[in-house]
Chain A
């Protein structure tokens, strides 16, 4: 099984220029970048992929123990970078993948030369003086919501969706097929994401880093953005005039232009 097939890797955009890897977070797949993609494609080769267990990745490659820690997801990212032999790439990680990018940058120095952290949070659960915004019970509630909502997922259709990466229209016929995920794998990803504590990892960042936060974001509130900004030395913080946790969908132009100006200025 090649990594490219395993992670449903898609390379698009410019043929020359600094490569940009767009990494989806918990809840969806590489479709999350569909509005930003065309805005970056002209100047950068773009790499998109699905974590194993998400989107159209090869579900048979999923192992519970590997994907029960953020390191497992970071390994996916590193392995994609290695497979494509990327150098000095810019990793744009949304949500939990902002932290995955941090782990990958430490694991593969040279391959990842800059980070864009979109709505990052190194810790979702409140602890002592730290305010992540959630309690452990809140996370249990989310897991319940996941159990009650098998959006677009049906075990019977999964082989059709997953087994035909060349014929995505088979999957498109299903409603909510964009983010269809095996419920068991989604639950593991949810637990891994929302119970993670990567605050210490922020100190390991040595590459130029842009933090993008939204004006109002329930999942990664602004005080968390400030925390990340303070913890990552030399980082740049940009607050987008957007509401919600997915500015790449609700404010794609602003998101893309923030990334572009970061790359054209000090991201080296």
Chain B
């Protein structure tokens, strides 16, 4: 109500005036003593010079016990006193004002009184600090609420740390499982240079790419590389079945098309009904004859292998027409062969490489770019080629969002 409003009300309704006058009789002294908050004034050394009845009531102390006898910090808990000395007092000196500080006061009866304290420095005419005026608000309910918030924050922090630990554990378990789906190292073969690389798109997800390479006898070596549909545990289980089926099939029968057919049957039998699962794969065998490798391979729906020649060219070895493995009982797989001479290298890869997004337009990296990249490095040994591609994958950065497997087989150039 505005002051003008009071007058109007008084003029028109005489009955209100007596009540209003009694309000006006609320003296400054009574306002100070019985205010709904605590007041105190201290000397610069903290000695209490004046304190109101409200605060004395809260603390259960008499004026005689306090005035001239206690310092402000004596009213605080020990922890609050430490805080007062290290933060409150210096800040007040520097700023002349300090507000909303949460402290606890000790009451004569025992329980602590949570309060919010605001202090102002009163300076003399010469600018020297004279005394400190302080208001004290009962913050019992607010502090209880804040304690709840703090508790909740601590609980959230603990949960976060636990979650982080769980994630680390899961990451470790996934890494172990992922490694179990790949050869720990590639075998050392006389006259042959091999190299493999596996990029996992996310450490929190098992990849669906796989490769392997293992000797069949003194001159022949089997190899395969592929990509199962999906990611995660389901894909890992499919990868495991695929890898061990192919491995067993190739040890038994070195015909790559037959091997993919066996895999096709195994996948069809294992994943029936509404859970069809499939993969793309290249499987092959190379045989060492003198200083050359005769390579036979078959593809089921997989991107074509790339052959780098000693003369600095790079061409795809077409296996067009090979179908996905695990979809049709009568799937067709396409065979191709080549001969690797000293300085030649065969590269198998998964589509993470060719389907990476590059440039500002986020275009597909593609087969042409891969061939150019390889040709620019040909002739290149298997290790050098895989290292160059690993660097390329790293350069893709966020453009590479899929797992990628690389496997290269070559004949070292004649010294």
In the complex, A179 Cα to B81 Cα: how many Å?
17
Nearest-CB distance from A73 to chain B (Å)?
Answer: 15
Contact B94 A219 (CB under 8 A): no
A residues less than 8 Å from B87 (CB atoms) = 27-28, 149, 151, 179
B residues less than 8 Å from A204 (CB atoms) = none
Contact B46 A244 (CB under 8 A): yes
Contact A178 B91 (CB under 8 A): yes
The closest CB in chain B to the CB of A177 belongs to: B95
Indicate the size class of the contact surface on chain A: 35 or more
The closest CB in chain B to the CB of A193 belongs to: B86
Task: Tell me if B44 counts as interface (CB < 8 A to partner A).
Answer: yes
- Contacts A145-B102, A175-B99 given; indicate if A246 touches B90 (C-beta within 8 A): yes
User: Chain B interface: which of A46-54, A133-141, A225-233, A259-267?
Assistant: A133-141
Task: Tell me if A144 counts as interface (CB < 8 A to partner B).
Answer: yes
In the complex, A109 Cα to B194 Cα: how many Å?
60
Beyond the given A141-B80, A148-B102, please list 4 additional residue pairs across the A-B interface where CB-CB is below 8 A: A151-B91, A176-B98, A245-B85, A249-B90
- Contacts A139-B79, A141-B77, A146-B83 given; indicate if A179 touches B91 (C-beta within 8 A): yes
Contact B85 A219 (CB under 8 A): yes
- Residues of B near any A CB (own CB < 8 A): 44-46, 71, 73, 77-83, 85-87, 89-91, 93-95, 98-99, 101-104, 143, 146, 150
In the complex, A49 Cα to B95 Cα: how many Å?
20
Contact A142 B82 (CB under 8 A): yes
- Residues of A near any B CB (own CB < 8 A): 25-28, 31-32, 34, 95, 134-135, 138-149, 151, 175-176, 178-179, 194, 216-219, 243-246, 249-250
Nearest-CB distance from A178 to chain B (Å)?
Answer: 5
In the complex, A47 Cα to B143 Cα: how many Å?
41
Contacts across chains A and B counted by CB atoms under 8 Å:
98
B residues less than 8 Å from A141 (CB atoms) = 77-80, 82, 104
Nearest-CB distance from B46 to chain A (Å)?
Answer: 6
A residues less than 8 Å from B89 (CB atoms) = 244-246, 249-250
B residues less than 8 Å from A244 (CB atoms) = 45-46, 85, 89
Contact A27 B45 (CB under 8 A): no
A residues less than 8 Å from B103 (CB atoms) = 145
B residues less than 8 Å from A32 (CB atoms) = 90
Q: List 18 A-B contacts (CB under 8 A).
A: A28-B87, A31-B94, A95-B86, A141-B78, A141-B104, A145-B83, A151-B87, A175-B99, A176-B98, A194-B82, A218-B73, A243-B46, A243-B71, A244-B45, A244-B89, A245-B89, A249-B94, A250-B45
In the complex, A144 Cα to B81 Cα: how many Å?
12
The 8 residue pairs across chains A and B that have the minimum distance between CB atoms: A141-B79, A27-B86, A243-B45, A145-B83, A148-B102, A138-B78, A142-B82, A245-B85
In the complex, A158 Cα to B411 Cα: how many Å?
60
Contact B79 A145 (CB under 8 A): yes
A residues less than 8 Å from B85 (CB atoms) = 217-219, 244-246
In the complex, A151 Cα to B90 Cα: how many Å?
13
Nearest-CB distance from B139 to chain A (Å)?
Answer: 9
Nearest-CB distance from B257 to chain A (Å)?
Answer: 60
Q: Which of B71, B85, B150 has its CB near the most chain A CB atoms (within 10 A)?
A: B85
Of the candidates B44, B81, B98, B99, the one whose C-beta lies within 8 Å of that of A218 is B81
A residues less than 8 Å from B104 (CB atoms) = 141, 145
